[in-house]
Structure 1
Amino acid sequence: MEALLIIDYTNDFVADDGALTCGEPGQAIANRIVNLADSFYQHGDAVILPTDLHELNDPYHPETDLFPPHNLENTPGRDYYGPLADWVAEHKDADNVYIYPKNRYSSFANSNLDNYLRSRDIKDIHLSGVCTDICVLHTAVDAYNLDYNMTVHTDAVASFSPEGHTWAINHFKNSLGAKLVTG
């Protein structure tokens, strides 16, 4: 069994009016992300959606000072973007779909992700979502440190910084040993 992680693919990170949007680069990967989700789901593999969750003006969270408020609970900004919203609505109760909130860049930090994967003997993870050089990157670093085999779908990750995106893609391959695939 393998797992696809779709990281932070929400309106706040992707939509034109998102609070911290990567805009067109994020929007361009919408169909690819849903195609990957369908493929993994149909093969019985895990589809995992770690999704940022914040409180407005949280004085204890470091992102409060770094970024504008984003992915606040019960706001349209935290809803999944585009066709992924429909996919999640249809599949959210399936046994091989795992949706959980995260409160740090890495999908592993302060979460049950490692236990979820190990309990299912999943050693191979595939990364997609946004932002390539922030949450996807930090998830990849933790996955590397936890000895997971990683594949990054370069046509299913995006960022608001083209330079950061390119740097992270190179880092996945050259420093974390990730396999890079497209299509």
Structure 2
Amino acid sequence: MRALLSIDYTNDFVATDGKLTTGKAGQAIETELVDLTKKYFEHGDFVVFAIDGHDPNDQYHPENKLFPPHNVIGTSGRKLYGSLADFYQGNQSAETIYWLDKRHYSAFSGTDLDIRLRERGITELCLTGVCTDICVLHTAVDAYNLGYQLMIPEQAVASFDPTGHAWALTHFKNTLGATII
């Protein structure tokens, strides 16, 4: 069984005026990311939207010291970007769609993601979204450590750091045994 994780493909991470945007790199993957999401959904696979949710007043959260406020709960910056938002709006009530609020880089950290995947018998994960070298990377490392097989579509992940993006793709393949397509 397999699942697709769509990680942080939100206005703040992708829109030109996003608070912590990948800009053109993130915008360039929209078609591939949405097409893959639709294919997984139409096949009946589990589709997870793993989305950062932050409170800029949380003095204990380390990201508030590292980055400008982004994906703030209750703001338009936290909404899905572009045609992915349209897809989600039209299908959010489907039992194979799951919105996962996350506070940390990894979609597994402090969430019920592993339980949700295991109760469905899922062993293979396709990771899409942004940022390749931050949230996608940390999610991939945790997934690897939990025994999941990984697939990373190169045209459906992006970063604001081209060097970090390239490094992460190599790391996925050579260190985590991921299939890069």
Aligned residue in 2 for 1:76? 76
Name the SS of the counterpart of 2:167 in structure 1.
helix
Q: Distance in 2 between matches of 1:164 and 1:57?
A: 29
Aligned residue in 1 for 2:172? 172
What does 1:11-160 correspond to in 2, within 5 Å? 11-160=11-160
Q: Shift in Å at residue 33 of structure 1?
A: 1.1
Q: What TM-score results when the alignment is normalised by the length of structure 1?
A: 0.98
Name the SS of the counterpart of 2:153 in structure 1.
strand
Write the letter of the residue equivalent to 1:169: L
Listed one character per residue, the Cα deviations across residues 125-170 of structure 1 (whole Å, up to 9, x for unaligned) are 0000000000000000000000000000110000000000000000
Q: Distance in 2 between matches of 1:23 and 1:81?
A: 12
Poorly superposed stretches of 4+, deviation over 6 Å: none
Aligned residue in 2 for 1:162? 162
Write the letter of the residue equivalent to 1:60: Y
- C-alpha RMSD of the superposition: 0.5
Write the letter of the residue equivalent to 1:103: R
Q: Distance in 1 between matches of 2:91 and 2:100?
A: 14
Q: What TM-score results when the alignment is normalised by the length of structure 2?
A: 0.99
Percent of aligned pairs with the same amino acid: 55
Q: Distance in 2 between matches of 1:109 and 1:132?
A: 17
Write the letter of the residue equivalent to 2:132: T
Q: Shift in Å at residue 56 of structure 1?
A: 1.6
Name the SS of the counterpart of 1:125 in structure 2.
strand
Name the SS of the counterpart of 1:20 in structure 2.
coil
Determine if contact 1:16/1:23 at 8 Å carries over to the other structure: yes
Q: Distance in 1 between matches of 2:55 and 2:122?
A: 32
Name the SS of the counterpart of 1:109 in structure 2.
coil
Name the SS of the counterpart of 2:22 in structure 1.
coil
Write the letter of the residue equivalent to 1:176: L
Q: Distance in 1 between matches of 2:76 and 2:98?
A: 21
Listed one character per residue, the Cα deviations across residues 17-52 of structure 1 (whole Å, up to 9, x for unaligned) are 000001000000111111011100110001110100
What are the ranges of 5 or more consecutive residues in structure 1 without an aligned counterpart? Answer: none
Q: Distance in 1 between matches of 2:169 and 2:118?
A: 26
Write the letter of the residue equivalent to 2:50: P
Q: Shift in Å at residue 57 of structure 1?
A: 2.6
What are the ranges of 5 or more consecutive residues in structure 2 without an aligned counterpart? Answer: none
Q: Shift in Å at residue 74 of structure 1?
A: 1.2
